[in-house]
A and B are shown apart, each in its own frame.
Chain A
Amino acid sequence: MAHAISTRSLTKRFGRREVLHGVDFMVETGSIFGMIGPNGAGKTTTMRCLLDIIRPTDGEVRVLGKDPREGGPALRRRIGYLPGELFLEGRVTGRKLLAHYQAISGPVAPGRIDGLAERLGLDLDRHTRKLSKGNKQKLGLIQAFMHDPELLVLDEPTSGLDPLVQQEFHAMMREAQHKGQTIFLSSHVLSEVQQTADTVAILRDGRIVAVESVSGLREGAVRRLRLTASAITAHDAGALLGSVPGVGHVEVLDSGDGGVTVAATLEGSIQPLVRMLGSLQLTDLVLDEPDLEESVLKMYSSPVGDAS
């Protein structure tokens, strides 16, 4: 099976309000697929359709080769789900709550729950309603991961987690991927997704505006560049830089005895730039990490259907 998830013209209306206007995407088996978009774009609605919590008005959904509506409990046992807003009330300990979810999901390996709790630093013997938001989130992650499902559907998984735990969670995702599990996660910020995901879909107002590999996004993204070179005039440095494809916004910051300092932006491949730099006598060079956030924000703000 090539695709763990596929949707075709997935449409959802709540009364007269259409939330999803024909969403198409595919998630390859064994990949990590991130869906990003602002709040209200339809990420949660899409995920709930995959779990048969809400039913599409129109279109086709296939999860692990089955229609979620037909797949029933047997299909859902093969999925681990973390809802976007996790409510865990009641006077039960984390351990008892997990035992309950264990009884209604796929088989859990012995020691698996304690292992996950230890990794995330969660005390399972505390009452769930006394847990902080971050600790509740950990409990939610454990119940999603504990039965090593073929597919993980995680809605805003890192919300409430501190940076160290986020790192641990990223490691858990990579391990899951190594074991052949597929992960579909959502976020409203790219930075949470870009470290782990292979592919990113951008959802805006109930439509997919772009599906990009993270490496593709990186290539299309804008980097900031600053260099200092000696034995060259400011004018020549500017002209040389300006001749490199992808370079723009050239600006001379300083020119004096110490050399010329120039700032610019670079879009696309860095190879032509590197070749040009060889001809300069560089004393300093800074090439920033690509700002994917910025390129994604551009997609958000461009009109629908024009994702460039």
Chain B
Amino acid sequence: MKTSLPLFRRAFFDSWRSTLGWGAGLAAAIFLYLPLYPSIGGSAQMQDMIDALPAEMTKALNYDQIATGPGYTQATLFGLLGFLLMTIASVSWGAAAVGGDEESGQLELTLAHGVTRTQVVLERALAVLLRVLLLAALVFILVRLLNDPAQLGIRPEYLFGAAVLFAGLALLSGTAALCVGAISGRRTYGLAAGAAVGVLGYVFNAVGRQSPDVEWLMNLSPYHWAYGNSPVSNGADWAAAGWLWSISAALVLLGTAVLNRRDVGA
């Protein structure tokens, strides 16, 4: 029996529960936040409340833009809860793909079969990619569905661009986790690397927005590359999307190259 991409199929289909779980989480976040926009984001009362908050805090949370539908969606969903859920999902998949598999002792048996190490990394990276894309597609579809009922007024092409950046940003953390996992053979190191990319990106953006003196920090923040111009309101910065996706690809290739040169399970 010859099937194509056997490692991809196993990685993708055996984790359907996890994919479904994260999808449900994202859907819950969308249905909790977005329908509230007409009563919260657009109301004068809410604006007064936000004006009363410390300016630093509003900036850090991107709440300075929630008076409009697209800004509200950008700040609450893509910038905060969605970003968090998606990053955790992607990092956990990335860290488990190679490092976790080696640590649990299962990679040894896989590599003893008729596969190359390059094939193992690439097929499993593909499985991470496809799951991230599925979740991003789900977010795109659900936001489109709520666009009219929740009076968000988001332009579909901007939403599409934002979803591409959303996926790219999560994928960057996920591939960082996969890369470090493949280099170290440890799931924990992969998790730490993926989390570091996500968290530092968020923090550098939040701090960088506080004052012109520390603005340079934002240049180091993938979060800022993706969301700096608020893509849901203004359309995607496609160059940033290109960067996110290319760095992810480079990380996967780096992980492949190192895994090919080292002992496994030693």
Contact = CB atoms under 8 A, between A and B. Distances in A.
B112 A53 contact: yes
B209 to A, nearest CB: 43
Contacts of B6: 100, 103-104
A88 B107 CA distance: 10
B255 to A, nearest CB: 18
Nearest to B120: A104
Contacts of B116: 72-73
A77 B104 contact: no
B249 interface: no
B53 to A, nearest CB: 46
Contact of B109 (A72, A79, A83): A83
B108 A48 contact: yes
A53 B106 contact: no
Contacts of A106: 114
A212 B7 CA distance: 42
A90 B2 contact: no
Given A81-B109, A87-B105, A53 B265 contact: yes
In order of increasing CB-CB distance, the 8 nearest A-B pairs are A87-B105, A54-B263, A103-B6, A77-B114, A73-B114, A81-B112, A104-B113, A51-B112
Interface residues of A, number: 34
Contacts of B109: 81, 83, 86, 101, 140, 143
Given A54-B263, A55-B263, A108-B1, A92 B14 contact: yes
B211 interface: no
Given A103-B2, A104-B7, A53 B113 contact: no
Contacts of A54: 263-266
Interface residue SS majority, chain A:
loop
A100 B3 CA distance: 9
Nearest to A105: B113
A104 B110 contact: yes
A87 B100 CA distance: 12
Contact of B14 (A88, A90, A104, A140): A90
B5 to A, nearest CB: 9
Contacts of A294: none
Interface string B1-24: 111001100100010010000000
Interface residues of B, number: 24
Contacts of A105: 113-114
A76 B106 contact: no
B266 A14 contact: yes
B114 A74 contact: yes
Given A14-B266, A53-B263, A88 B106 contact: yes
Interface in B207-266: 263-266
A166 interface: no
B46 interface: no
A9 interface: no
B166 to A, nearest CB: 29
Interface string A44-75: 00001001111100000000000000001110
Interface in B99-153: 104-106, 108-116
Nearest to B6: A103
A156 B7 CA distance: 27
A237 B104 CA distance: 63
B259 to A, nearest CB: 12
A256 B9 CA distance: 80
Contacts of B113: 73, 76-77, 81, 101, 104-105
A91 interface: yes
Contact of B264 (A53, A74, A87): A53
Nearest to B265: A53
Nearest to B263: A54
Interface string A212-256: 000000000000000000000000000000000000000000000
Contacts of B2: 103
